[in-house]
Amino acid sequence: MLKKLSTTNLIQQYSEIINELKERGVIRTKNLIGDLGEYLAIDYYCNTAGLPKLQAAMTNTKKFDAISMDGETYSIKSITGRLTGVFYGLEPPKSKKSNDKLFDYAIIVLLNDNYALNKILELNWEIFLKHKRWHKTMTAWNLPITKSLIEDCNIIYSE
């Protein structure tokens, strides 16, 4: 059906889909990949027995994106490649100041090239600290998706 549409009509359909996703609360900001990943992670946690029920944090909340019914906080990063976006709020390398805990868990949502869910990885604060890497350009920390990181994570979902 999509192949029969003109390019202009296809773009219009895309715009209508984006608007519908905004109305449903799936897309909450201008960060489409981040919003899709947050929605998919929260939905998966809420609909899977044995996982905490998560609720999205307010869009202006710093440091975390979701909170469990028990008050545990989750930072969610969505990626299509091998490197997460940055985590702000931690001291730079070689700082003499100690880092305050920003969240209890990080969730990494790996999307495939078509933005479909591929994996959901969960790591606690200590594992995050072990694997974080400094991103000089962004002057913040991120997580490279390595074999070692995946081995240390709890794999919540895998395609």
When pLDDT is averaged across residues 27-50 and rounded to a whole number, the result is 96
Same domain, yes or no: 89 and 130: yes
Q: Which tens digit of pLDDT belongs to each residue from 66-98?
A: 999 999 999 999 999 999 999 999 999 989 888
Same domain, yes or no: 54 and 22: no
Same domain, yes or no: 37 and 61: yes
Structure tokens at 51: 């996982």
Residue 63: domain span: 31-158
Instruction: Look up the pTM and report it.
Output: 0.93
Same domain, yes or no: 77 and 153: yes
Same domain, yes or no: 24 and 49: no
Same domain, yes or no: 20 and 90: no
Same domain, yes or no: 122 and 58: yes
Name the domain count of the chain: 2
